[in-house]
Structure 1
């Protein structure tokens, strides 16, 4: 009898650097929309709510369902994705991210995938400030008097 599905036993998500995360399936899996949302949330938690770059190992991903692909490709807190695979199916899976909200590249060589991710990390992860959910800056760069309504 196969044990019941749980996210934690199916996926391994870990922090590589301050704003870098790795994602891999522990067993062959079809990624659902709920899985995608949980992956993004877990990555955001691991990086202390910072935007991050992600390394995705596609080797045990059987398919990414359309809802999951939509969620993953539109994630605004993912800065870049390096995808590692070894089959034509992996390449086709990664092709769906050509128009993602972030740069995404497919690799068949693990060292090349991590090298590209390191470059993207160095270019995009320059913010040393930990965020709550998102950072909003409300500073006026111009030294000018503020509008004061008159009473009268």
Structure 2
């Protein structure tokens, strides 16, 4: 978790991401967040491939508000290309901080709590001694 509503996914180096891998990840995230909508940062810098069907799993998750793909060069950009067909905003990034900032901009704004007025103090009343 990168904060409320933002999940970071980092694959083990050398992973070839398949449809079943993506489905398991989505299932775990949904369980972790109790079905709440979320933004996801997927680090593709160390993976070797991501199947088109794996992209489809991430792209069609109705709980995803936005997806950032974090890479380090042209090959990672190619691995991320399938995310462009998503039903939510998706973008490729070279900077993790920039990606997180962008993802957070897609989270719903929490409503401001109603201001609470301070409890009025009772005026001091002297009671006559009994």
Residue 16 of structure 1 deviates from its aligned partner by 2.4
More strand per residue: 1
Matches within 5 A, 1:80-95: 80-95=66-81
TM-score, L = length of structure 2:
0.77
Residue 21 of structure 1 deviates from its aligned partner by 0.8
Whole-angstrom CA distance in 1 between matches of 2:109 and 2:36 = 9
Whole-angstrom CA distance in 1 between matches of 2:68 and 2:52 = 20
**Alignment partner of 2:35 out of 49, 63, 73:** 49
* Cross-structure match for 2:62: 76
SS of 2:106's partner is: helix
SS of 2:23's partner is: helix
TM-score, L = length of structure 1:
0.67
Whole-angstrom CA distance in 1 between matches of 2:42 and 2:5 = 14
**Alignment partner of 1:34 out of 4, 20, 27:** 20
SS of 1:38's partner is: helix
1 or 2 for the larger relative contact order (CA 8 Å, sep ≥6)?
2
* Cross-structure match for 2:98: 112
Whole-angstrom CA distance in 2 between matches of 1:34 and 1:107 = 25
- CA 1:125–1:45: 2 relative to 1, 3 Å: farther
Q: Which runs of 4+ in 1 moved over 2 A?
A: 15-18, 124-127
Are 1:17 and 2:3 counterparts? Answer: yes
Gaps of 5+ in 2: 112-130
Gaps of 5+ in 1: 1-14, 128-152
Could you report, residue by residue, the CA deviation over 1:2-50 in whole angstroms, capped at 9, with x for unpaired residues? xxxxxxxxxxxxx223322110012211101110001111111121211
Whole-angstrom CA distance in 2 between matches of 1:27 and 1:92 = 17
Residue 78 of structure 1 deviates from its aligned partner by 1.0
